[in-house]
A and B are shown apart, each in its own frame.
Chain A
Amino acid sequence: MKDVQILWVSLRQQSAKEVPFSSDNYAKFLGGRGLGVKLLYDRVNPEIDPLSPDNLLIFAVGPLTATSVPTAGRFAVVTKSPLTGTIFDSNCGGYFGPQLRRAGFTAVVIEGRATSPVYLWINDDEIEFRSAEPVWGKEVSNTTDQLLDETDRKAQVACIGPAGENQVKLASIMNDKHRAAGRGGVGAVMGAKNLKAVVIQGTKKVTVSDEKQLDQVVSRVRRLLKKDSITNKSLPVYGTAVLVNLINEYGLLPTYNFQEGTFNDAEGVSGEKLLERIFVKRYHCFGCPIGCGRITRAYGEEGGGPEYETIWALGPQCGINDLEWIAAANNRCNELGLDTISLGSTIGCAMELVQKGNLDAQLSFGDTEGLIKLIDEIALAKGLGAELGEGSKILATRYNAPELAMQVKGLELPAYDPRGVQGHALASATSNRGGCHLRGYMIGPEILGSPVLVDRDRIEGKAGLVNLFQNLSAAMDSMILCRFTTFAFSVQDYADLVTAATDLSVNGKELLQIGERIWNLERLFNIREGFSAKDDCLPPRFSKPLPEGGSRNRIVHLEKMLLEYYRIRGWSSQGHPSKAKLKQLNIQ
């Protein structure tokens, strides 16, 4: 197997060189998230400031990117997060990833800091550093359009908005104007490097190891996507917003900053209402037959989204029931380059701080008055916005109520109350990047019944399933494929795809071991940064029962699951990977 090429960029020296990622490492970590994690662990010194030039910002694709495999258009952004201090990968759809692969690179690694704003123009093998002064301060759509005018209309842009420029910890990196590598403040890292955008055009042919074999496997998995009711019916028709009514029925839709689990006006912000009121058309990422994305119209303006998580964060989390306003606020976040989940959750946290008398501000649940202005202020790091832009953990601590921040390891939790889903609770607490539903998507089996429904209240067996999904997700994020394929594919299908596309020959268990290796290396990174078992926890709110709804009287039973989880992982009771485990995974 051949080495794969990384484009290593020094912003300080304004130089770029190709360096190999060895075939041995590629076999152990694949590309995408795994590649980024390996590089970050090896090349970044402990305890650096994530916003310093010492941090690396890695854009990576994987062995399936830009092939015929459905959903193989995603890319990962890997860095040390300024929001959490953990290792972090943020995953994005759109069309940027295939351009990177076609340019001949599996990753672009950015180090250092430019002395003035620049953007990187990668046109196959030609690399240019260009001034970004003319677009600095501009929002995402304008930036994208102007940079495409300056380069090539067929290129793709990954850029930051004002939030990233101002190093706001909720800043995202945007592609195709409304697709986001949203979480963890990766946009702030880019802004701290004075890097406004990476623009790529790749025209090279992407080859695979066994084209015929890949065609066969692709034909099979396409059929599976078409056969599955979630990927062939629910997501195409309603988008991810299909979850609003369902999750609300289960009493899991966090409302008023997780004080309640049922939102009375859920119907009004549901996927069904989105289809009836603001839907314009579907949006497909590269190579995706599902097409869960939405283009919507709010107050006369078209935009991408909102997704389920955004509807929740800007809606029920803040007590807001106006779907059109939510869509407009989502558009604003996209233009400013802000992570809607962390933003909405932090605003909800601020609303509760006001409600409890800890904070004096014109904020109240359900009131949209002044919120668009506040979102702008967050992106510009001005006034109260500057405080909210630090994320909920710092905000709530500043106002003497850290328990009101609905976060894990500094990352705001997404749109599922853990009290009604024990496996999801465990997955959230143990996530290497903090409060996240996608490290191990337990909502699949616990709520959606995919691949099979398991009792959401039961704690027995959950550690094993979380372990399985976390390992698989790490491997998937390194290929890279969309998480929604798990509704239709099984583990062996992913292994077959990797086997056909690369020189590796892996079965399902070997693929999971790659994921496990990545997971353990992420854990080692975090331990090196001072994280420990005490950080595998949830906000204290989840130890008190929900007052009403489909998950009333439930609390999270984390302790028992956590010990079992560590045992299954081969970690000590303090959450440290054992020497034997590291040896088994061939991690030095």
Chain B
Amino acid sequence: MPITVDELAKLIDHTRLKPETKRVKIQELCEEALTYEFASVCINPVHVEFAAELLSGSSVDVCVVIGFPLGATLTEVKAFEAREVVRKGATEVDMVINVGALRDKNYDFVRSDIREVVSAADGAIVKVILETGLLIDEEKRQGCIISKEAGAHFVKTSTGFGPMGATPYDVQLMRKAVGNKMGVKAAGGIRTFKDALRMINAGATRLGTSSGVSIVEGYRWAGYSDAWLEPDKPCWTCPSRQASLAKQPKEVYLWYKERCVTCPHRDENIFND
């Protein structure tokens, strides 16, 4: 086993962001985070005080999403949200980048948008969600560089509500773009310990997932066979497989699919499993 079960747990932001979430589920989330000693619970702003109270005095951080999930709100609103959730007990904020502005190459605006949140967070950890599924590689790289320049502590792949989840390919690209001193959080579609290990191998230092318990419990099986970690079909982890015309801008979708044609694994891309 490349890392221990406990080490894996400490990398996980135990996440519950669905709109229908009841208070009892937030309580369950916090209790699980305490049991497994996850890094944090990742929640919507409305639950911040309740979670902070439940986790008070523990090693589990309270991580709250900002401008979520679209990132298209006003900078002032993002900053206000950040200030308020930190005041109410959040120690980490995950903000969504202004994706449209990034694609417009309006880098000054994007930088300022992030900088305002970093400032409002008042020392709390800030992670910037790029929503990689809406971007081509160059835009992802640019998003990473700007986030770093603006003083953010992490870049993060996805919201989990966008067109794609995290892929090792994107994590690797983001790690290369930000260097070794900044955090990279992989989030979206991480459901098994194998997904988790792939992200860690690609350079992730934090994992956002609503399957934290399942990942940790599943990882216990790894102690009984090495065969779990045999390679899978290459398409399984490729962002181009996840691309969807229904969910992505046409040019982004085609950018991903064009790569399939020249991929060295093209002949293996016959079935969709």
Contacts and interface: CB of A to CB of B under 8 A. Distances in A.
Interface of A: 224, 227-228, 250, 445, 449, 451-458, 460-462, 464-465, 468, 488, 490-492, 508-509, 512, 550
Contacts of B223: 491, 508
Contacts of A227: 213-214
B230 A451 contact: no
B84 interface: no
A131 B272 CA distance: 61
A451 B224 CA distance: 12
A451 B225 CA distance: 12
B228 interface: yes
A453 B220 contact: no
23 contacts: A224-B217, A250-B273, A449-B192, A452-B194, A452-B221, A452-B228, A453-B192, A453-B232, A454-B227, A454-B228, A455-B231, A455-B236, A456-B273, A457-B233, A460-B230, A461-B226, A461-B227, A461-B228, A462-B227, A464-B226, A465-B228, A490-B221, A491-B220
B225 A550 contact: no
A455 B230 contact: yes
Contacts of A488: 217
A313 B217 CA distance: 35
A464 B271 contact: no
Interface in B197-228: 213-214, 217-218, 220-221, 223-228
B95 to A, nearest CB: 30
Chain A interface secondary structure, helix, strand, loop or mixed? loop
A491 B227 contact: no
Given A464-B226, A468-B224, A468-B225, A455 B218 contact: no
A490 B193 CA distance: 13
A455 B226 CA distance: 14
A526 to B, nearest CB: 25
Given A227-B213, A454-B228, A491 B221 contact: yes
A249 B83 CA distance: 49
Contact of A451 (B192, B232, B233, B273): B192
A452 B271 contact: no
Given A451-B228, A453-B194, A465-B228, 18 more contacts: A250-B273, A449-B192, A451-B192, A451-B193, A451-B217, A452-B218, A452-B221, A452-B228, A453-B192, A454-B227, A455-B231, A455-B236, A457-B233, A458-B231, A460-B227, A464-B227, A465-B227, A550-B271
A451 B213 contact: no
Of the candidates A445, A460, A490, A550, the one having the most CB atoms from chain B within 10 angstroms of its own CB is A490
B209 to A, nearest CB: 13
A508 B224 contact: yes
Of the candidates B213, B223, B231, B271, the one having the most CB atoms from chain A within 10 angstroms of its own CB is B271
A455 B224 CA distance: 18
B263 to A, nearest CB: 17
Given A491-B220, A512-B224, A454 B230 contact: yes
A20 B273 CA distance: 52
Interface in B84-115: none
A250 B271 CA distance: 10
A462 B218 CA distance: 18
Contacts of B236: 455
Interface of B: 191-194, 213-214, 217-218, 220-221, 223-228, 230-233, 236, 271, 273
Nearest to A492: B220
Contacts, number: 71
A457 B271 CA distance: 11
Contact of B225 (A449, A460, A465): A465
A409 B225 CA distance: 28
A264 B192 CA distance: 32
Contacts of B228: 445, 451-452, 454, 461, 465
B193 A452 contact: yes
Of the candidates B221, B232, B236, the one having the most CB atoms from chain A within 10 angstroms of its own CB is B221
A452 B224 contact: no
A453 B192 CA distance: 8
Nearest to A461: B227
B273 A228 contact: no
A490 B232 CA distance: 22
Contact of B221 (A224, A451, A457): A451
B194 A455 contact: no
A462 B226 CA distance: 10
B163 to A, nearest CB: 21
Contacts of B214: 227-228
A509 B224 CA distance: 8
Of the candidates A228, A451, A508, the one having the most CB atoms from chain B within 10 angstroms of its own CB is A451
A490 B226 contact: no
B3 to A, nearest CB: 16
Nearest to B216: A490
B22 to A, nearest CB: 15
A445 B221 CA distance: 11
Contacts of A224: 213, 217
A454 B218 CA distance: 13
Contacts of B227: 454, 460-462, 464-465, 468
A253 to B, nearest CB: 15
B220 A458 contact: no
Contacts of A453: 192, 194, 232
B224 A491 contact: yes
Nearest to B271: A550
B225 A464 contact: yes
Nearest to A251: B271
A455 B268 CA distance: 13
Nearest to A466: B227
Of the candidates A453, A462, A491, the one having the most CB atoms from chain B within 10 angstroms of its own CB is A453
B156 to A, nearest CB: 24
A296 to B, nearest CB: 31
Contacts of B232: 453-455, 458
B145 to A, nearest CB: 35
Contacts of B225: 461, 464-465, 468
B192 A458 contact: no
The 6 closest A-B pairs by CB, nearest first: A461-B227, A461-B230, A490-B220, A451-B218, A464-B227, A452-B192
Contacts of B224: 468, 491, 508-509, 512
A550 B271 CA distance: 7
A449 B189 CA distance: 14
B259 to A, nearest CB: 21
Contacts of B217: 224, 451, 488, 490
A29 B271 CA distance: 44
A205 B60 CA distance: 43
Contacts of B193: 451-452
Nearest to A552: B271
